[in-house]
Amino acid sequence: MQRYQERNGQVGQAKQGTLSVGQFLMISLGEPVSRQFMKVKYWGSFLILTAPLSY
């Protein structure tokens, strides 16, 4: 595992953020919970984007 991280260290640093958070959620919580989280995230961003239009 350490070799893998060292080899892909630059790629990991470039993609740090949402990808690592998603991987962490999938590993720690399991797929169903992470899918629900993605749905919540999607609808949350959707509501944030459409909120100014409703005012």
Would you say 25 and 33 are in contact if contact means Cβ atoms under 8 Å apart? yes
Tell me the C-alpha distance between 48 and 38, whole Å. Answer: 15
The predicted model scores a pTM of 0.27
Question: Which pLDDT tens digit goes with each residue over 15-53?
Answer: 555 566 667 656 666 666 667 777 777 888 887 777 776
Structural domain of residue 36, as residue ranges?
2-54
Q: Give the total number of structural domains in the chain.
A: 1
Would you say 34 and 25 are in contact if contact means Cβ atoms under 8 Å apart? yes
